[in-house]
Every structure is written in structure tokens, then in C-alpha cells.
Amino acid sequence: MPGKIFISYRRDDDPSAAARVCDGLAAKFGRASVFMDVDKFRAGQRFDEELAKALAECDVLIAIIGPRWMELLESRASIDDRDFVREEIAGALKRKIVVIPVRVGREGQLAPLPRQDDLPGDIRDLVLHQKHDVTHENFGRDIDKLVKDIRAVRGSSNKLERAARALRWAPGIVAAAGAIFVALVGAENVRDAGGWLRGFFEEPERPPIEMTPTKSSSQKQAADLVASKSEADKAAMIKEAQTLLAELGYDPGEADGLRGVQTTDAIKEFQRDMGTASRKIFGQVDQRLISALRVAKRTKLREERRRARQLAEKEAAAADAEAERVAAEQRKEQAEEAERKRLARSLSPNATSIPETKAPGDETACRQLPAALTSQVPLKEGDEFCSATGRKTARVERIHDQSIRFLVNGTKSLTCREGEACAFDWSPNVHFRVTARSDPARGIQPVGALLPR
């Protein structure tokens, strides 16, 4: 009778996908034949002991591998925390039951299987077992294929078990057959046939082999090779630690694979920052340190990518805001110009323009004030009038509501109000009146006009 199927998963990885795989297998094999620790324990039970009992009753272990599986494995190893998932897989590998690594997630976004060298020694053989993928998009098809594979490997295991059971029964069968043979032919005949039977079953005697104890040079070479490999692995580990420390902003010195004072100080500083500076591992280079450094590097890279993305989004938002501001200013200027023209037309529907002239030696255009005004002349801030010689000027400095201020000859200020007669000192005989409108609060932009007296 086949055992149960054990679902091994990490609750901080992808528990919902693990639950779906459990439900899919339970629909095919029965709920009692699939174990998952969600609803199998009662209050007061020892969690670790119940897991060990459940694992002992299983002949298939499904190792659910999500996007954070390797990160969580290294994180627990770095802080020397008990890892039940690692213990479950190690126990299954030790018992030599069927172990199936199952990657879960979206199609095309599945986490890669860890490298064998990145795994702890007790679960390093996990990646030697054929994996199976269960994707969100093809869940039904992938579960059916997984069920088919489990039944296939269980069938192979059952055949091997039956063969082993037959071998265990073989001595008893042979003994029973011998007893029947003696009963049938008699003891005397059996003794006579003994020599023939012994000759048939026994191997011929061979001369003893002299075992002279000698020192083998191959054994010494093998020991030297192991020692050399161990030193090379240690140097490689120290060099990786130095490289990772430098990338994380510490100062371990040159990455030369030698653990000097500077490297040891950098390791201690890192362990203090991570809160793992226990007396047992303080300043030491081991697999736990390498795992912690890898996790810290991945965390730093994720943080750098997040900050870069935020900066890019902030810069893009600022550029969009600046573009919108410029466009708003352009729209505002266009609206103001249109409003000035409209108000000018409404103030002087029959207005005529004054011809422009230039002062001698001056490239600035100005409008010559005629001897007498016969119609309205529209104005805007910045307009300039000049005398016949072009040497005397009057510039529209500011248009207020019902008044206009002129700057005469660049020095004297002249304010003309509606209803009053005005004249420039360089043309005292030309009298005029003004009309003006300006109220930005109500959307009325500065516009005015000269009126005949």
C-alpha cells in the first residue's frame, strides 16, 4: 500500500500556490493521502515531532519552490535559525524516498532552481531529482502531469520493493525445497549425492592471497589532494566574502583570498550591522557568512533599483509639470492678447492707427502724434509716441482702470484720467482724453485708447 504525499513549502514564499497543489493532488489521491501542515495539527502538539511522524509515513515529498525559496533558505542560514523546510527535504533525501522539486508561479516567471554548490550539504542532492513546473496559466494540465509522474515513480519503487521482498524470502524457500527433497529420496541417497551437490554449489578452493602491509603512495597523494582542495575552497570563499563586502560598502582590502586583519575587521563590522555578531562566528568566514552577504547584496540591489525607479518617476513628473506650466503660460498669453484686441475693438470700433516713425539715429519705432485727433487710437502698455523730430517721446507705462500713466521724455510721469484733458509738454496744442480698462482679478487685461477732445 502506497504511503502519503508530503507537501513541503515555505509560508513566506508562495503558500497559496502550495495549497492549490495540495488540493489538486488530494482530488486525485484522496485527502487522507496528502499531508500539508495547514489543518493537520491540534492545539498542544509538538510541531517538530508531528512533522517527523508525518514524513515517516510518506513515500513522496513535493518540495514547493517559489520566487523567494532560495532567499529565505539563505536568510535562515545566515542567522542560524531552525529551518523546518530544510529538515523535511534532508529527511526525505536520507530515507531515499521520491523527492520532486515543484516550481510554482506565473508562466515565464518561475524562479530558477538553485545551483548545487549554493545549497547546504544535507540537501545538495535536491537538484539531482527531476523537477516539475506548475504554472498559474496551465494549472490543471500541470497537476495531471504531476499525478501521472507520481504514479509512475511509485510503480517503479513497488517493483523494486517486491524484488527485494522475494530475495528476503529466498533462503526460506530453498530450505523448504531441501526438506521436501530429503523426504522423497531418503537420507542415504542424499549423503551419496552430497558430494555432487557440493561440487555443484561450492566454488573451487583458491590459494590464499598474501596481504603484505605496504605504504601506498596513492593514499598520500589522495590525502594531499583533499587538503589542497580544501585550502582552495577556503581561499575562494574568503575571496567571495571580500568581493561582497566591498560591494556592500565595507573595506576588506584587496580580494586576494587571504583573511588578514582588514578583512576580519570588515567581517566583524558587517556582522555587528546585521546583528549576528555572536562569539562563536564573530569574524569567521563560513557558509553562513556567505549566505548573509548574498542576501544583503540582493536586498541592496533591490533598494537601489527601487530608488532609481522613484527618481526616474519624480524626474518624469517634474518634466511633465514644467511642460504643462509652459503650455499654460502660452495659453494665458494668447488669451490676454485676444482679450486686449477684443476690448480695443469694443472701446474704439472706428479706431485708426497712428503711423510709426523713427527718431534720427534710433532704431526704436514710435508713433507720431498728429496735430489733432479725429478718431480713437487704441493703446497697450509699452506703446510709444514721439514728436515730429522724434526727439521727444511719451511711452504708455501703465494702464489702470479708468487711467493711463505715461513716461514723458524718459523722466517725467504723466497720469491722465478718464474725462480729463491731457497734453504732452512737447505738444501742448494737441489735447486728448483717455479711456482705460484693467482688472486682472476679473479677467480684464490692460487696454486703453486716446480719444479726441
Q: Alpha carbon of 305 to those of 87, 109, 113, 300: distances in Å?
A: 34, 19, 24, 9
Confidence category of residue 201, pLDDT binned at 50, 70, 90? very low
- pLDDT tens-digit series, residues 363-408: 456 777 766 677 788 888 888 888 777 778 888 888 888 899 999 8
- pLDDT tens-digit series, residues 216-254: 555 555 555 555 557 788 888 899 999 999 999 999 988
H or E segment at 377? Answer: strand 377-379
Residue that the C-alpha cell 509716441 belongs to: 385
DSSP 293-309: HHHHHHHHHHHHHHHHH
- SS3 annotation, 28-62: HHCHHHEECCCCCCCCCCCHHHHHHHHHHCEEEEE
Task: Sort 9 into a burial class: Cβ within 10 Å, 0-12 / 13-18 / 19+.
Answer: buried
C-beta neighbour count of 83 within 10 angstroms: 18
**Percentage of the chain exceeding pLDDT 70:** 75
**Closest C-alpha among 61, 63, 51, 62 to residue 114:** 63
- pLDDT tens-digit series, residues 181-200: 556 555 555 455 545 445 44
Structure confidence at residue 47 (pLDDT) = 81
- Superfamily (CATH H level) for 4-162: Toll/interleukin-1 receptor homology (TIR) domain (3.40.50.10140)
- pLDDT tens-digit series, residues 140-168: 999 999 999 999 988 776 555 555 555 55
CA dihedral of residues 305, 311, 313, 317 (deg, nearest 10) = 180
Can you tell me the distance from the alpha carbon of 359 to that of 378, in angstroms, rounded to the nearest whole number?
Answer: 22
Residue extents of the structural domains in the chain = 4-162, 226-296, 348-452
37 against 60, higher pLDDT: 60
Residue that the C-alpha cell 491731457 belongs to: 422
Confidence category of residue 210, pLDDT binned at 50, 70, 90? very low
| The C-alpha cell that represents 331 in the structure block | 495659453
The residues pairing with 448 across neighbouring beta strands, listed in sequence order, are 379, 436
Confidence category of residue 78, pLDDT binned at 50, 70, 90? confident
